[in-house]
Homo-oligomer: A and B are copies of this chain.
Amino acid sequence: MLAALPLLAAAPAPEKPAAKPALAPSEIVAAAPAGDWVAIAPADLLVMDLAPDAQGRARRVVIQLMPAPFSQGWVGNIRKLAAAHWWDGLSINRVQDNYVAQWGDADGEDKARAKPLPAGLMTPFEGEYSVRLEEIFPARDAKEVSTAADVEKWVTPDQEFAASLPKMADAYAPSVFHHRGWPLAGDMDRYWPIHCYGAVGVGRGMSPDTGSGAELYAVIGHAPRHLDRNIAVVGRVIEGIEHLSSLLRGTEALGFYKRAAERTSIASIRMGGEVKDLPRFEYLSTESGSFARYADARANRRDAFFIKPAGGADICNIPVPVRRAKG
């Protein structure tokens, strides 16, 4: 419920108890069997430790990198940048309200002062912002896909499972679906990862530049879906997004900070495999019955607080549950 508050000026409570309300989405997730959770390899995590806050509290942001076949050129660069400890001592330079928090080299525009990039970074091209359906499902025969219904059959061949998923009408793409833990969209020709809240993308200059991955941002507002297919999505924040979303907003154009002192220092960014005592993380399989029930409950809230189930949901309002593994 939205608020644990008194029934201010409330009508009298009903005299007979209501039927037992349905489970809330969080309760469905909590009840999911262990087998519905999928481990996230530490090697696929990027761990950003910001300088402690004004009260001396640690600020760690954990990012899960996009798996193949998406954005792998940039993801490979990011692995190299982290291995080179390239971001250490750099900063968060831009925080634009309801949009993004962005980090990298604040002096990057000044050739004389820019921090040199490690050798061996590749230059992905714009075609890599999206993939073909058969790249997502390599074990399947390629076949003609001409309607959103065809895509649904390909993505979720189990018709009973497909029917249990909620409606997710979308303004940006004919098809949107979850696959192996990620929200994806497609138009029958190409398929791409979605800029939902917490998504991490690659800052770039003007086309045909695609960015290297050295300059990254996280979405801290309403899903900026117009960026889909225009910028590479390389991952998502799975823990600690509040350390980015609660930062002071920059007052210059695009939310850049006016004074260097306003920036937040990055102590280090490391691949998860390099970080001692990193908790193990896991996500709720988007191919599980628990996920289907969770998604349906997100789209049709029937738990006690709600009086009108919506009947559908925006895919970005069905965030894939991620948690620290137990034990």
Q: What is the interface of chain A, defined by CB distance below 8 A to chain B?
A: 1-11, 14, 54, 94-95, 97-98, 100, 102, 104, 108-109, 111, 114, 117, 121-123, 125-126, 129, 167-172, 196-198, 203-212, 214-215, 217, 221-231, 241-242, 245-249, 253-254, 256, 298-299, 301, 304-308, 310-317
* Other-chain residue from B123, B229, B245, B315 in contact with A10 (beta carbon distance below 8 A): B123
Sample 27 A-B pairs with CB under 8 A, ordered by A number. Answer: A2-B102, A2-B231, A3-B203, A3-B254, A4-B109, A4-B254, A6-B111, A7-B209, A8-B214, A9-B117, A10-B123, A11-B125, A11-B208, A14-B208, A97-B242, A98-B241, A169-B171, A171-B299, A206-B305, A221-B221, A223-B317, A226-B310, A226-B317, A229-B308, A230-B305, A230-B308, A246-B249
Give the docked Cα–Cα distance between A4 and B250 (Å).
14
Give the docked Cα–Cα distance between A156 and B315 (Å).
28
> Told that A97-B246, A168-B171 touch, could you supply 9 new A-B pairs with CB distance under 8 A?
A167-B171, A172-B313, A172-B314, A197-B222, A226-B301, A228-B308, A230-B307, A230-B308, A245-B246
Give the docked Cα–Cα distance between A34 and B6 (Å).
47
Q: Quickly give the copy total for this chain.
A: 2
Give the docked Cα–Cα distance between A311 and B317 (Å).
21
Asked, given contacts A3-B215, A11-B209, A172-B312, whether A306 binds B230 with beta carbons under 8 Å apart, the answer is: yes
**Within the complex, what minimum Cβ distance (angstroms) separates A151 from chain B?**
16
**Within the complex, what minimum Cβ distance (angstroms) separates A158 from chain B?**
22
Instruction: Establish whether residues B6 and A109, one from each chain, have CB atoms under 8 Å apart when the complex forms.
Output: yes
- Residues of B contacting A228 in the complex (Cβ-Cβ under 8 angstroms): 308, 310
Instruction: Establish whether residues A114 and B6, one from each chain, have CB atoms under 8 Å apart when the complex forms.
Output: yes
**Within the complex, what minimum Cβ distance (angstroms) separates A70 from chain B?**
16
- Residues of B contacting A204 in the complex (Cβ-Cβ under 8 angstroms): 2-3, 5
* CB-CB nearest in chain B for A14: B208
* CB-CB nearest in chain B for A227: B2
* CB-CB nearest in chain B for A130: B308
Instruction: Establish whether residues B11 and A123, one from each chain, have CB atoms under 8 Å apart when the complex forms.
Output: yes
Give the docked Cα–Cα distance between A2 and B255 (Å).
10
Instruction: Establish whether residues B226 and A94, one from each chain, have CB atoms under 8 Å apart when the complex forms.
Output: no
Instruction: Establish whether residues B308 and A3, one from each chain, have CB atoms under 8 Å apart when the complex forms.
Output: no
- Residues of B contacting A225 in the complex (Cβ-Cβ under 8 angstroms): 310, 313-314, 317
